[in-house]
Structure 1
Amino acid sequence: MEPGICYIKPEYLLAEANSGPNSEVNVSVDGASNKRKHAEDAGSPNESGNKRGNKKERKRGQNKNRPVFKDERYSHLCHSLIDGAGGPPCTVPNCRYVHDLEAFVAAKGVDLGDVCYVYATKGYCGRGVTCRFAKAHTDAQGRNMKAEPYDEQAAQTTCNGISSELQVRLRKHDYDFSRTKELIKQAEKLRDVRKQQEQQKKEEIPDDKLAVTTAERTPIGSAIDDNPNGRDAQRKPVIDFREKLVLSPLTTVGNLPFRRICKEFGADITCGEMACAVPLLKGLGQEWALTKRHESEDIFGVQVCGNNPNVITQAAEVLHETARVDYIDLNIGCPIDLIYQQGGGSALMRRTNILELTVRSCAALSDRLPFTVKMRTGIYADKSVAHELLPLVEQWGAAAVTLHGRSREQRYTRQANWAYIEQCAAQARHMPVIGNGDIISYEDYVERRALAPHVSSVMIGRGALIKPWIFQEIKQQKAWAPTSTQRFELLRRYCNYGLEHWGSDTKGVENTRRFLLEWQSFLYRYIPEELQLSPPQKINERPQKYRGRDEMETLMSSGNSADWVKLSEMLLGPVPEGFSFVPKHKANAF
């Protein structure tokens, strides 16, 4: 059989199916067909974005310059009217929001359903009359209702984000970062001692010629600081990263509703989407939104990205002191061009002096707040450096390291190198090493753990996006084959969580739809086991053209984003006029 193809049982093959993979997929919904070939995100080294080749650089990994749909027609009702007419009048001079309640309600359109998930679960919907399910919680006079009894504290199921007070302090540069300055100075001192030792060893200078003390000649660990700072320092136990199933921090698609789904299926540790340190320190609400945590996430971390040790440590400090987080993770594996070219992400793997200061200072923030690092094998496919970095990162104080078994150059193509992950994990003395790459089934999990016995835990990313029940399969040690009805109910649950998180008004509904469609760009790649000729499915295999066992299963397997929109309309109502969608990630690359 030809490699890279998932073969389907003959009775489910379409008449036009051939022995090779599908050649095209429609990735745009704008009234016109916008087809493009399936292409790997990276090819040979000359084609992968570095300057060692002469071929023109290809844009990979993301669909850039994609249209972003914005519809603000219904989201401007003045807050004084959210609960309906008859409340306190608006006191804002020259308020720019809508004050004609009847015109707003008429323009909003008909309700999308009779039941508001937010009201049904919490007893009050904060979107009031702007909610697209408002009839479920408005009285005959159009006033928004509260269920009796309603407990506002009990209804609060998420935390973190940014308060207005903290936002003002950050924007006025009024936040005290003196501790960061002290930790950076300590880290610089330890780094200089390490360099002296290396120079001494290189030049074979006798110990009595080197003017450092015995303590200074042992720069192992972080820049030690015993100050129990941070509001969670007294209550938070140190995390055990061993024998856990970890959900990878996933840009765009690893949002809070998706993490809730994965927690319900058995994920042990979750992490928010990558947040950039500079926007965090500027107090930008959209970046702080990535730190939000649901109450079901019992072990939750925030991943930060940056290119400057002072900035990264400041971001870690403010997160530690103001947010409820169990650990902070540093991203030194991000392959995105914009991040890499600015010296962040995977570029830090070659900027070891900067990386050392960052890890030492952040790890010293608190002995109760573990600081972890997520890296790749290296920058280039033919030059792995993780085996050199990993022992150093452990010395500098990292509590755990996640190693993705591909280089920046490879992006998400080629198979993850678990033999190399094992080689690196075997070098760690006490620090847990978490392996990451290509796990989409229980069989994959068992095989990778056998290949890498020194790996402490496993992190799952795309496998969870394609089939979020992968965590359940691993814990139950058997495959689960959900029906199309069960998979559709999973989408409904995600939409309910999305409406709770982003809001049930028009803006919230369209946000939920957009993130659902982004997720669907991965979900469609799931192939039911009953249809496969030789299960289980492999993450890098493209299926032959096939039909499902029923109409819904066929619709869910479509790579045409117009079909993904149809699914969203079954759950969230018709799309607005002029709607268009192109997935952010080129998830169809196998």
Structure 2
Amino acid sequence: MTLSLGRYTLGTPVVLAPMAGVTNAPFRQLCQEAARAGLPTPEQAPAIHATDVPEGIFVSEMVTSRALVERTPESMRIIQAAPGEKVRSVQLYGVDPATVRAAVRMLVSEDRADHIDLNFGCPVPKVTKRGGGAVLPWKRDLFAAIVRGAVQEAGEVPITVKMRMGIDEDHLTYLDAARSARDAGVAWVALHGRTAAEHYSGTAHWDAIARLKEAITDIPVLGNGDIWSAEDALAMVEQTGCDGVVVGRGCQGRPWLFTDLVAGFAGSEVRVRPRLREVAGVLRRHAELMVDHMGEEDRALRELRKHMAWYLKGYPAGGDARRALALVDSLADLDAKLADLDLDAPYPGEAAEGKRGRAGSPKVPHLPEGWLDSREIDGRLAALLAQAELSVSGG
């Protein structure tokens, strides 16, 4: 099963979802290396071993269009490619069509991206209260203007859209938005089967992904939500008919999930079941890549702390050891803390799998005043949106 993206044909229809503070260049490098480890042998599948065939798409952290146009140091760090990245994929956030256009123009004219994904799925209050992310498609004209402008500026660089079902059950937007995006010329649409109100709680609505696939037949439809294993990915494709999957929280602390995914889509039963010593090795390499990426050892190790609980999920590491690892501040400190673990511990099975990351609970989305009164933008909301680019940091 393959997936097309502009001039690219992906060897596996799998996309690493952009996650703030997670999918930076070091983590993407680990995931891509894991994906290559899951490929069939060259004798079994020579076509997907060609040097220009990407194993999947590995998307950067979200960057705001305003920050990118202003070339803030953080936004430029976010779009930095990982070594050996075959498709440089950037996710762009914006609520102003002109600013999004300018950001796309910069990425394309300066050859900084091979693929641009537009974020219409973020449910966090600092984004939705300004009319961005998962709530923006409610304003049909604004959504269409942003997507159409991005496609026009991108030229041959493919534009894709990632979105949620809508604001809540009473304000669903995904079918209208997907048709609008298709008509604007996007390469594919990806749907996270939850509303903004659901955040990451409960169970993703794969039935909505199936409905979208039934409605949109002329471009690929990708599914996202509750993919914790290769078996989940294959089940989503079978149950919904989607053309590919987008994997987010399931790979946190488990970059080797991409080995499983690539193998699974190739029909192989190969799965990675690492002992704690192997997990520690990946964690140590992650740290080294972070130091190289950030250039500051203490900052890199602070950024890595959030990954510790994900890597250790299910393994026999006591509370003291976990707390100590969550406070590491140097590579030497990390080495010492890892050496204290029972590195001979075997793979703990289901305890290391399944849900990870904070699911949260359903909550009423924060919206601009009067946002739901109309599907169109009025002058007051237009002025509010002009300020929104300034209030959401890149990444």
TM-score (structure 1 length as normaliser): 0.50
**1:433 offset after TM fit, Å?**
1.1
Q: Does 1:472 align with 2:282?
A: no
**Partner of residue 246 from structure 1, selected from 15, 18, 24:** 15
Q: Does 1:513 align with 2:277?
A: no
Q: Does 1:418 align with 2:187?
A: no
Matched position secondary structure for 2:84: coil
Hey, what's the Cα distance between the residues in 2 that align with 1:376 and 1:485?
Answer: 38
Amino acid at match of 2:177: L
Q: Does 1:330 align with 2:122?
A: no
- The 5 A counterparts of 1:394-405 are 394-405=182-193
Amino acid at match of 1:484: L
Hey, what's the Cα distance between the residues in 2 that align with 1:296 and 1:569?
Answer: 24
**Partner of residue 104 from structure 2, selected from 316, 321, 329:** 316
Hey, what's the Cα distance between the residues in 1 that align with 2:13 and 2:248?
Answer: 14
Number of residues paired by the alignment? Answer: 314
1:573–1:443 distance in 2 versus 1, CA, 3 Å = closer
Q: Which residue of 1 aligns with 2:162?
A: 374
- 1:122-141 residue CA offsets vs partner (Å, 9 max, x unmatched): xxxxxxxxxxxxxxxxxxxx
- The 5 A counterparts of 1:10-25 are none
Q: Which residue of 2 aligns with 1:554?
A: 317
Q: Which residue of 1 aligns with 2:353?
A: none
Amino acid at match of 2:289: Y
Q: Which residue of 1 aligns with 2:327?
A: 565
Say if 2:309 and 2:322, in contact at 8 Å, map to a contact too.
no
Q: Does 1:459 align with 2:251?
A: no
1:519–1:249 distance in 2 versus 1, CA, 3 Å = same
Matched position secondary structure for 1:420: helix
Q: Which residue of 2 aligns with 1:344?
A: 132
**1:569 offset after TM fit, Å?**
6.2
Q: Which residue of 1 aligns with 2:275?
A: 483
Hey, what's the Cα distance between the residues in 1 that align with 2:283 and 2:238?
Answer: 34
Amino acid at match of 2:117: D
Matched position secondary structure for 2:122: coil
1:307–1:241 distance in 2 versus 1, CA, 3 Å = farther
Q: Does 1:587 align with 2:375?
A: no
- The 5 A counterparts of 1:9-408 are 238-240=7-9, 243-266=12-35, 268-408=56-196
Give 1 or 2: higher helix fraction.
2
Amino acid at match of 2:246: M
Hey, what's the Cα distance between the residues in 2 that align with 1:307 and 1:493?
Answer: 37
Q: Which residue of 2 aligns with 1:438?
A: 226
Amino acid at match of 1:361: G
TM-score (structure 2 length as normaliser): 0.74
1:522–1:383 distance in 2 versus 1, CA, 3 Å = farther
Hey, what's the Cα distance between the residues in 1 that align with 2:216 and 2:7?
Answer: 19
Q: Which residue of 2 aligns with 1:447?
A: 235
Matched position secondary structure for 1:330: strand
Higher Rg: 1
- 1:526-577 residue CA offsets vs partner (Å, 9 max, x unmatched): x3xxxxxxxxxxxxxxxxxxxx4xxxx424x8895444336976654789xx
Hey, what's the Cα distance between the residues in 2 that align with 1:322 and 1:417?
Answer: 39
- 1:326-367 residue CA offsets vs partner (Å, 9 max, x unmatched): 111110111121111122212211111011111111111244
Amino acid at match of 1:264: E
**Aligned sequence identity (%):** 27
Hey, what's the Cα distance between the residues in 2 that align with 1:573 and 1:481?
Answer: 22
Hey, what's the Cα distance between the residues in 2 that align with 1:364 and 1:432?
Answer: 20
Hey, what's the Cα distance between the residues in 2 that align with 1:567 and 1:474?
Answer: 33
Say if 1:517 and 1:568, in contact at 8 Å, map to a contact too.
no
- 1:218-243 residue CA offsets vs partner (Å, 9 max, x unmatched): xxxxxxxxxxxxxxxxxx96234685
- 1:25-65 residue CA offsets vs partner (Å, 9 max, x unmatched): xxxxxxxxxxxxxxxxxxxxxxxxxxxxxxxxxxxxxxxxx
Query: Which ranges in structure 1 are unaligned for 5 or more consecutive residues?
Result: 1-235, 528-547, 576-585
Say if 2:165 and 2:173, in contact at 8 Å, map to a contact too.
yes
Query: Which ranges in structure 2 are unaligned for 5 or more consecutive residues?
Result: 36-54, 338-355, 361-395
Matched position secondary structure for 1:435: strand
Q: Which residue of 1 aligns with 2:51?
A: none
Amino acid at match of 2:108: H
Matched position secondary structure for 2:215: coil
**1:406 offset after TM fit, Å?**
0.8
Say if 1:278 and 1:306, in contact at 8 Å, map to a contact too.
yes
Amino acid at match of 2:92: V
**Partner of residue 291 from structure 2, selected from 499, 503, 513:** 499
